[in-house]
């Protein structure tokens, strides 16, 4: 990973993780907490983390469970990071990773943009270079919620449980950000918060301001069509195979035709040869880790569009193995106050078995996105332009489908002297491309990702001239 000034973030496996870019000080909001709340926070504080560098403890972090339904035994697992300075001046940002079929993942922390990265070939940690570049994690406070929880329609109400544990952050400006299949989760959760806020008491009100989504899966029709078109434009598929898609594939259908499914099966075989998440990056020679599942296409009459999206996740899939080894260490789980029930199976970054229990995925979230734009919510969509999984082509098709008027047309933005990408400002939504970035933009272009975060939070356009 390049040394950069990217804000340091974290994703947790079981349910809820928060990363706040501000450390507690004697004169901060924590001084107003009651003894019981302070004691609960202290019980969750991570005193030391096995394999972490000793100089990493310039910031505090907390990890544990927040009960959301005692009767049903439901709880959210979180990992919450505080940064080094100015704790009361930072916004709060919820970060969501994607994938619609996997269960447990620490993808953001261990492999993408967390404060700790897992070392190559050693189940230990190293400090993310961004920690050294930006003392204090200046961009904001970051929250990460595990994606499976977001399939539960009561998640918005359950989310208040974390604020009860850390009430000093409740009135901060709150944003939701993420990537990939979070293009579904984010608008859905945002819509729930907007609606609940209209009738909420002051105690339950969330100071919600906007959403930021990268390489977002938002619409089944346009996203699948964009994947096929982009693959042809990038010379991945032949004219013959491309023509096969154009004849039998109706991506608007609830169930795709068998002929279309067979064509998509041929298409998916090509993904074994390259990293579909970053078309011009080298593939991992060690291969993909075993997630207790098969990534081969399921061809048959019951196959849906979502079954055809099961492609191995990862900008650098080799790091998934390192992270899995580290998080299966018993001393690590004890330090994080995790796995308190002693489950019999090992931790996995992805667990496909959740698929059999989940059948309520919406085909599109575009009506929700349009509603949120009309509500005046700040909405930014960004896209790494070398991603083949949810390519820029797909996102452009999707945004065109929204039919929003253009306020500022297609123009470059800059990172120092170089073009960082292009942007277009619609009435109610801003779209930004990130030049040379794959599916996980913070991994492949961390400096540009930081610019994006900072300008989004400040509600400022990206630099239109070299600097």
The helix (H) or strand (E) run that includes residue 96 is strand 92-96
Q: In angstroms, rounded to a whole number, what is the distance separating the alpha carbons of residues 285 and 273?
A: 11
Residue 238 is among the residues annotated as catalytic for this protein:
no
Structure tokens at 221: 């029709």
Out of 223, 275, 316, 387, the active site residue is: 387
Structure tokens at 133: 């570049």
CB 86 within 8 A of CB 136: yes
| 10, 222, 334 from 113: Cα distances, Å | 7, 29, 23
Residue 45: other Cβ atoms inside 10 A: 14
Radius of gyration over every alpha carbon of the chain, rounded to an integer in angstroms: 21
Structure tokens at 350: 């992805």
Structure tokens at 363: 């085909």
CB 289 within 8 A of CB 317: yes
Out of 148, 169, 271, 439, the active site residue is: 439
Where do the DSSP E strands lie in 187-296? 208-214
CB 49 within 8 A of CB 109: no
Structure tokens at 423: 């942007």
Q: In angstroms, rounded to a whole number, what is the distance separating the alpha carbons of residues 398 and 395?
A: 5
CB 379 within 8 A of CB 425: no
Residue 337 is among the residues annotated as catalytic for this protein:
no
Residue 278 is among the residues annotated as catalytic for this protein:
no
Query: What are residue 116's phi and psi, to 5 degrees?
Result: -115, 140
Give CA angle at 16 (376, 41), nearest 5°: 110
DSSP alpha helix (H) spans, 328-365: 330-335
Out of 138, 180, 278, 423, the active site residue is: 180
The helix (H) or strand (E) run that includes residue 127 is strand 125-127
Q: What is the dihedral of CA 442, 443, 445, 446, to 10 degrees?
A: 60
Give CA angle at 268 (266, 273), nearest 5°: 105
CB 252 within 8 A of CB 221: yes
Please list the active-site residues.
Answer: 180, 387, 439
């Amino acid at each position: 990973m390049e040394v950069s000034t990217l804000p340091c973030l974290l994703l947790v496996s079981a349910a809820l993780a928060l990363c706040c870019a501000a450390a507690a000080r004697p004169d901060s909001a924590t001084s107003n907490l009651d003894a019981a709340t302070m004691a609960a926070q202290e019980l969750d504080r991570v005193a030391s983390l096995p394999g972490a560098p000793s100089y990493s403890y310039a910031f505090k972090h907390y990890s544990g469970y927040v009960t959301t339904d005692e009767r049903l035994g439901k709880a959210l697992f979180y990992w919450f990071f505080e940064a080094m300075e100015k704790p009361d001046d930072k916004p709060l940002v919820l970060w969501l990773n994607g994938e619609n079929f996997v269960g447990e993942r620490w993808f953001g922390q261990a492999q993408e943009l967390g404060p700790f990265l897992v070392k190559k070939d050693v189940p230990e940690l190293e400090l993310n270079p961004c920690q050294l570049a930006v003392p204090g994690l200046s961009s904001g406070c970051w929250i990460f919620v595990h994606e499976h929880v977001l399939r539960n329609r009561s998640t918005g109400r359950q989310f208040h449980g974390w604020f009860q544990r850390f009430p000093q952050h409740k009135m901060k400006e709150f944003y939701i950000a993420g990537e990939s299949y979070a293009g579904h989760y984010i608008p859905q959760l945002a819509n729930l918060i907007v609606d609940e806020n209209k009738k909420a008491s002051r105690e339950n009100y969330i100071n919600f301001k906007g959403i930021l989504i990268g390489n977002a899966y938002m619409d089944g029709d346009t996203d699948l069509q964009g994947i096929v078109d982009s693959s042809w434009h990038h010379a991945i598929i032949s004219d013959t195979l491309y023509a096969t898609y154009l004849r039998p594939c109706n991506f608007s259908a609830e169930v795709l035709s068998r002929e279309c499914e067979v064509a998509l099966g041929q298409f998916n075989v090509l993904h074994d040869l390259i990293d579909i998440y970053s078309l011009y990056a080298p593939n991992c020679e060690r291969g993909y880790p075993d997630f207790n599942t098969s990534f081969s296409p399921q061809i048959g009459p019951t196959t849906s569009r979502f079954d055809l999206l099961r492609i191995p996740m990862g900008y650098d899939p080799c790091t998934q193995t390192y992270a899995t080894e580290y998080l299966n260490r018993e001393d690590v789980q004890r330090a994080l106050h995790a796995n308190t029930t002693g489950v019999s199976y090992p931790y996995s970054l992805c667990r496909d078995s959740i698929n059999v229990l989940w059948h309520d995925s919406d085909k599109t979230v575009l009506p929700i996105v349009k509603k949120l734009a009309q509500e005046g919510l700040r909405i930014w969509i960004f896209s790494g332009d070398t991603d083949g999984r949810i390519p820029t082509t797909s996102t452009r098709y999707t945004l065109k489908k929204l039919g929003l008027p253009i306020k500022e047309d297609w123009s470059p933005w800059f990172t120092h002297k170089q073009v960082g990408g292009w942007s277009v400002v619609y009435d109610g939504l801003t779209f930004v491309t990130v030049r040379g970035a794959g599916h996980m933009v913070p991994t492949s272009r961390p400096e540009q990702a930081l610019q994006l975060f900072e300008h989004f939070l400040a509600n400022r356009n990206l630099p239109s001239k070299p600097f």
